[in-house]
Chain A
């Protein structure tokens, strides 16, 4: 499978990259890890006149905790998340997520920024970022802007990004004490997108009640699904089996998956609930709740 012809640019600075994007408008695409974009071009399911490779711009790959935030450079590889000490010890939900994306070889190229920017409801990071309350930093011709994750996913393969904006950083608030998050994915085999997957994040109060809850689903609709109904059900409750079960069921209800080779819609919807329960249970455990 061979892509149709396109032009390729390798800017060495952000401003140059943004200028190229502005110049070529709709016909241009950012090339980051290329693990979503190139397969599409190879199958000729997508077309691009110009690829703007951000691979040569310095300073886009980092993971650091700073000012109460985890800051992840837009071009940070999934494999870097997997090997990061701060991720492993402080943000295990991110490790859960990174290590179930695609396969280890793809993860050596695929980037966190690309995973979000692609706007693919089948991608795994969106759900995790939704429950973590992340912010996406986008750099455009004018300046940098911070997009709260809740407003980032607009529809199938569409995000709040302008065509001339580049995701340069993802910011995740540092977890408060007695917090825990988990991502659990159910896939047909390694390298597959989720049949169903759920992210959960809980913060427990001193009394052991849930102070804040985040629950989101992958591949459960045209865009990543955050289940506010489930979150509401859980907030203020003791995270016992009954409460988690109710919340998980509510999460399942918020899924509107479509049928594909991974399963019929009703099955996937049920699986969303099953996975939500597993993620919640693990998150509560990690928060020290049980």
Chain B
């Protein structure tokens, strides 16, 4: 079995792990690093429950190998809160009832976070497009859109 030692930064903290070639990044995060906020909802790269930021870009961590993350900067849902303060996206989801069972939520929030970094006043259509790789079965998306809009407003107020 081919093993590799990798070093990566997750939510600002350095980690080192020795992993099998085939280990999926999502399993490295969930099982080795015990960051269980990143979820798994499918086998075919469709649901986005596993979304994380990979060098700043939202990607599906079930379709990335752990070894590919060697030397990379990752952010998971656990890294959104800073200094005990919820991020604008987290607060938006809380305020607008952007979640029900909460299973898709970490992935949705990561995608939303990346969207707002690029575009701080997205239209409804732009939001819907951006989250179209994340499936939610509970909310019908209406309040997820509102949650991201809420966060966009808050972000703009902070950095006019």
Contact = CB atoms under 8 A, between A and B. Distances in A.
B113 interface: no
B133 A190 contact: yes
Given A55-B68, A105-B58, A106-B60, A8 B133 contact: no
Interface string A33-61: 01100110111000000010101000000
B63 A38 contact: yes
A5 B64 CA distance: 15
B59 interface: yes
B157 interface: no
Q: Choose among A31, A79, A191 the residue with the greatest number of B CB atoms under 10 Å from its CB.
A: A191
B113 to A, nearest CB: 13
Q: Choose among B54, B111, B129, B132 the residue with the greatest number of A CB atoms under 10 Å from its CB.
A: B132
Contacts of B43: 1, 42-43
Interface stretch (B45-53, B78-86, B139-147): B45-53
A267 interface: no
A10 B63 contact: no
A162 interface: no
A3 B22 contact: yes
Contacts of B20: 5
Interface of A: 1-8, 10, 31, 34-35, 38-39, 41-43, 51, 53, 55, 79, 102-106, 108-109, 190-191
10 contacts: A2-B24, A6-B21, A10-B67, A79-B57, A104-B111, A104-B132, A105-B60, A105-B111, A105-B134, A190-B133
A34 B64 contact: yes
B17 interface: no
B2 interface: yes
B125 interface: no
Given A3-B22, A51-B21, A105 B133 contact: yes
Main secondary structure of the interface of B (DSSP, over half): mixed
Contact of B63 (A5, A34, A53, A191): A34
Contacts of B159: none
Q: Choose among A1, A8, A79, A105 the residue with the greatest number of B CB atoms under 10 Å from its CB.
A: A105
Contacts of A42: 24, 43, 62-63
Contact of B22 (A2, A10, A103): A2
A1 B57 CA distance: 24
A1 B43 CA distance: 6
Contacts of B59: 105, 108-109
B63 A4 contact: no
Contacts of B24: 2-3, 42
B132 A191 contact: yes
A191 B134 CA distance: 10
A43 B44 contact: yes
Given A42-B43, A105-B60, A5 B1 contact: yes
A16 to B, nearest CB: 16
A8 B64 contact: no
A105 B62 CA distance: 12
B70 interface: yes
A103 B64 CA distance: 16
B133 A5 contact: no
A151 B63 CA distance: 31
Nearest to A41: B22
B150 to A, nearest CB: 21
B35 interface: no
A102 B44 CA distance: 12
B65 interface: yes
B4 interface: yes
Contact of A106 (B1, B45, B54, B65): B45
A102 B59 CA distance: 12
A104 B111 CA distance: 9
A35 B133 contact: no
Contacts of B132: 103-104, 190-191
Interface string B102-145: 00000000010000000000000000011011100000000000
Contacts of A6: 2, 21-22
Interface in B55-103: 57-60, 62-65, 67-68, 70
